[in-house]
Amino acid sequence: MKHKRKKISVIGAGFVGSTCAHWAAAKELGDVVLLDVNEGAAKGKALDLFEASPVENFDSRIIGTSDYKDTAGSDIVIITAGIPRKPGMSRDDLLATNAKIMKAVCLGIKENAPNSIVIVVSNPLDAMAFVAKQVLGFPRERVIGMAGVLDTARFSSFIAEACDVSVRDVSAFVLGGHGDTMVPMPRHCSVGGVPLTELLDSATIDKIVDRARTGGAEIVGLLKTGSAYYAPAASAVQMAEAILRDQKRILPCAAFLQGEYGVKDLFVGVLCKLGGNGMEKVIEVKLNETEKAGLDNSIKAVQELVAAMEKLEF
């Protein structure tokens, strides 16, 4: 039997998409298809990346395209397509435009890669994952949103900095929506196995939480013309790797809840087990009053977004 490499399609060849292709190829997760409506950009970046393979010694093939037929047989599809957030723009301003783009993308995936597992990165994340799930009609195991891994990465990097330790020794996670409605879980964070609350005072932890919560806006403010892409792309690819290599990783992701935390038919950031079948299990964490209030607030924000979106014509 001929062994077949895994196949990862990345939709959108902007900064996030092309960086996803870069991380996925460098980790040799499989062959990579970079798709964009701007075919030249997709082909140019794919060729440039492929030409780096002899230097970096990776055997992933990378092709660029504007044709969804090239995504056929994809194991994973990472969707980064959409307009990025500009300074002063709320995530909700993106709603109408990105919902239209998401619908078109998902029709292409449904027709050409119907067995794929889809990771949504486009903003506003929880609402875009909702559109993707509706259009694709895939079971919830195969449509997951990337937000929690990124928020957790920001949180963890600031904890490592404050404690002056290796990032490898920080274990943390966050729940809830992306950005403003993120629910930090310092009670469950540890450094080298020692609870974070024993190493840092609450004022320092609060500062770190605020910085993680506004991490995306901080970068938008500094760049002036663009938004973050290294960490978002790395986060999406960590999820893809957990699935492609059946790692059974416990990672915070936006999952389509079916009764967990008392929520139904909504994408909410929760801890998930990611393995070969996609989102294999939602792990419910016992929450204290503050955490529960934070998660409820986050859920309400997602409900409002989805309600606003359902009024739009796209």
Note the pLDDT tens digit of each residue in 76-97: 999 999 987 666 766 667 788 8
> What mean pLDDT do residues 204-233 have?
95
> What mean pLDDT do residues 252-276 have?
97
The overall average pLDDT reported for the chain is 95
> What mean pLDDT do residues 45-53 have?
98
Bond into 252 cis (ω within 30):
no
Tokens at 71, concatenated: 């995504």
Tokens at 268, concatenated: 């909410």
> What mean pLDDT do residues 45-72 have?
98
Question: What confidence tens digit (pLDDT) does each residue in 268-289 have?
Answer: 999 999 999 999 999 999 999 9
pLDDT for 148 beyond 90: yes
The residue that leads in pLDDT, 226 or 292, is 292
Partners of residue 8 on adjacent β-strands: 32, 76
Look up tokens 């998902």; give the residue: 106
pLDDT at 3: 74
pLDDT at 80: 98
Distance CA 222, CA 228 (A): 10
Catalytically annotated residue among 3, 22, 178, 188: 178
Distance CA 268, CA 79 (A): 18
pLDDT at 74: 98
pLDDT for 239 beyond 80: yes
Catalytic-residue membership of 22: no
Domains annotated for the chain, with CATH where assigned, are: 7-145 (3.40.50.720), 148-311 (3.90.110.10)
